[in-house]
Chains A and B, each alone.
Chain A
Amino acid sequence: MSLALLYCFYAKAQYAGYMLLTNSTAFKEQFTAASQKTNTIQSDFVQEKNLSMISEKIVSKGKFWFKKENSVRMEYNHPFIYLMILNNGKVYIKDAQKENTVAAGSNKLFRQINNIMIDCMKGSALDNPDFTARIFEGRQTFLIELSPAAKSLKDLFQHINIIVDKKDYTVAMIEMYEPGGDNTIIHFINKQLNATIPDALFTIH
């Protein structure tokens, strides 16, 4: 009992304004139901890379598209140009100079990152065997905390938090925390659900 209390206190203290959900069945049902109704997401994003050890921050912005089942397009347009497309297990990257297609299956790291991004959007993050999940409830959002299970992922991430809007169960933020204290936070803003998105946006040549 006292251990359970201690655990609750720890969980409460971990994220201000959030309480650990001891029974997450209802959340999972609603999250899955909402995800099933969402076929496309279109939004702007703001990404913050925080280099805590050297007190530096890099902010970048761009546009984001998701289309079921497995297509994501992230187009960075400020302060640099960078395009990444994930489409059915393939990763396409284009920077200012070169384009590169990587078969995500051929690189474990790419595959895992690919899975995380798709899972976040599809609502299947809770089922990813590479992570253990805990769910916290706040006033306007839920927080899904994903802790990596595999050693290769533990080297990259301490944990990943997905902040989900209560009003429509879509992803508002993805926070990736690294073991060294740095983190990357992606805010999704001006979201539009189920707008028509042409397949051509995800074409990998």
Chain B
Amino acid sequence: MQRFRMRYLPFISFFVILLSCSSAYKKMQKIPGDAGCVQKFKPQFQGAVYNTKVDVVGNHLSGLLVIKTMPDSSIRMVFSNQMGFKFFDFEFSRDSGFKVHYILKQMDKKAVITTLRKDFELVLMYHTPIADAYLLKNKTDFYYAFPQEKGINYYITDSACTELKGLERASKRKAVVQAIMLDYSNGLPDSIGITHKNFNFTIGLKLLKK
């Protein structure tokens, strides 16, 4: 328990820092830069299993999330509880497509599915065509912006683009979702955290098996 707290403490504090500097895109300076540099942070899921906790408006849910790149380059995400009862099975296809192979009846709501889809697309770094991308800069960080059908996904790095400091899904004015991916090893982050700003919804992933 103590170890778990210690493990998650750094990224909780990181969120607090991120929180204090949100909704500042307009004050940032647009600068030229190579948006392709963030591609190296794109996680390589070859069949990873993450210990997963979800807290949504006072409800706590935990389980195992399997993320696997299939031979056709699509990515499957299957979330079940520890006893094996499946909550959902999603497919993110290479051509930006999305398919629900299964979802538990109680979760089968458009808003739930859309929210999860967008959250995971941010983490998977799915819609990041370099042609549309641009770069913003604040005092310390670089924000690589990738316009989406609705809103913008930002990948925040240091000025040298060597460290992924955070991810944001944002409206024109402010962040809607903030996320982090920590401790990469062989292209795979050890911890992933997703926090919604508009309502009480967080997802925490900790790598269990590569």
State which residues 48-65 of A face B: CB under 8 Å.
49, 51, 53-54, 56, 58, 60
Could you tell me if B84 and A176 are in contact, using CB atoms closer than 8 angstroms?
A: yes
Question: Are B105 and A97 touching (Cβ within 8 A)?
Answer: no
On whether the beta carbons of B66 and A56 are closer than 8 Å, the reply is: yes
Q: Is B64 part of the contact surface with A, judged by Cβ < 8 Å?
A: yes
B84 touches A184 (CB 8 A): yes
B70-84 interface code vs A (CB 8 A; 1 in, 0 out): 100000101010111
Question: How far is B66's CA from A47's CA once the two chains are assembled, in angstroms?
Answer: 16
- Interface contact B82-A76, CB-CB below 8 Å: yes
Stretch at the interface among B26-34, B46-54, B138-146: B46-54
B192 to chain A, nearest CB (A): 15
Is the C-beta of B190 less than 8 angstroms from some C-beta in chain A? Answer: no
Q: Does A7 contact B (CB under 8 A)?
A: no
Residues of A within 8 A of B89 (CB): 53, 180
Is A54 touching B76 in the complex (CB atoms < 8 A)? yes
- Cβ of A178 under 8 Å from chain B: yes
Contacts of B66 in A (CB 8 A): 51, 54, 56, 58
Bound Cα distance from A153 to B82, whole angstroms: 19
Give the A interface residue count (CB, 8 A).
Answer: 29
Neighbouring B residues of A98 by C-beta, 8 Å: 53, 60, 62
Contact across chains for A97 and B4 when beta carbons are under 8 A apart: yes
Q: Is A182's CB within 8 Å of the partner chain B? A: yes
For the complex, would chain B's binding face be called helix, strand, loop or mixed by DSSP majority? strand
Is there a chain A Cβ closer than 8 Å to B199's Cβ? no
Closest A residue to B82 using CB positions: A82
Would A178 and B86 be within 8 Å (CB), given that A54-B70, A155-B105 are in contact? yes
Residues of A contacting B: mostly? mixed
Determine the distance from Cα of A184 to Cα of B66 in the docked complex, in whole angstroms.
15
Whether the pair B85, A56 counts as a contact (CB closer than 8 A) is no
> Per-position contact with B for A161-205: 1 when CB-CB < 8 Å, else 0?
000000000000000101010101000000000000000000000
Q: List, in ascending order, chain A residues with CB within 8 A of B106's CB.
A: 109
Does B1 reach chain A (CB closer than 8 Å)? yes
Bitwise, B85-105 to A at CB < 8 A (1) or not (0) is: 110010000000000011001
CB within 8 Å of B: which A61-82 residues: 74, 76, 79-80, 82
Q: Are B64 and A54 in contact (CB under 8 A)?
A: no
For the complex formed, measure the closest distance between the CB of B91 and the CB atoms of chain A, giving whole angstroms: 9
Q: Counting CB contacts under 8 A, is B209 at the interface?
A: yes
Q: How far does the alpha carbon of A53 sit from the alpha carbon of B76 in the complex, in Å?
A: 9
Residues of A within 8 A of B4 (CB): 96-97
**Residue on A nearest B76 in the bound complex, by CB:** A54
The answer on a CB contact under 8 Å between A95 and B101 is no
Nearest Cβ distance between residue B46 and chain A, in whole angstroms? 10
B83 surroundings in chain A (CB, below 8 A): 47, 74, 84, 184
**B127 to chain A: which residues have CB within 8 Å?**
none
20 residue pairs bridging A and B, Cβ less than 8 Å apart: A47-B84, A49-B64, A49-B80, A53-B76, A53-B101, A56-B66, A56-B68, A58-B66, A60-B82, A80-B82, A84-B83, A95-B53, A95-B62, A96-B51, A97-B53, A98-B60, A100-B60, A109-B106, A152-B105, A180-B86
Residues of B within 8 A of A (CB): 1, 4, 47, 49, 51, 53, 60, 62, 64, 66, 68, 70, 76, 78, 80, 82-86, 89, 101-102, 105-106, 208-209
Residues on A facing B (Cβ under 8 Å): 47, 49, 51, 53-54, 56, 58, 60, 74, 76, 79-80, 82, 84, 95-98, 100, 109, 113, 152, 155-156, 176, 178, 180, 182, 184
